[in-house]
Structure 1
Amino acid sequence: MTEINHLCGFCLEDNNEQEGVVFCSKCEQVLCIECKREHTGSKATRRHELFDLADVAPRD
């Protein structure tokens, strides 16, 4: 069984648990693949800096 380390903040607001793949430093939210697609496609948020969670070192 795979452990999910980070859940999408926007999906959690809708009581939906989706695994996060990126972190938006401007919104300070973890995003799943679908929310990342919407985030980068929106004129208001497309210039936000996203960090791939696979590249971020885990916290102890």
Structure 2
Amino acid sequence: MNQRAWSNDPVNGLLAWMSDNQATGADGAAPFLKIQPEVWTTWVPPATAEKIKAAL
């Protein structure tokens, strides 16, 4: 679980964006993946991170 933790600032920013845009969790996923790669790339193997980045 510690590897999948992230600080409050990115969470709050994403939640604020979702609220402002009446977005769902799925809607918030793409911006999070694009803007916060330093957070989520540590959660997956490097090859998987590269595939996700390429798909974005």
**TM-score higher than 0.5 here?**
no
Q: Which has the higher helix share?
A: 2
Q: Which has the higher strand share?
A: 1
Structure possessing the higher relative contact order (Cα contacts under 8 Å, 6 or more residues apart): 2
Q: TM-score, normalised by structure 1?
A: 0.28
Q: TM-score, normalised by structure 2?
A: 0.30
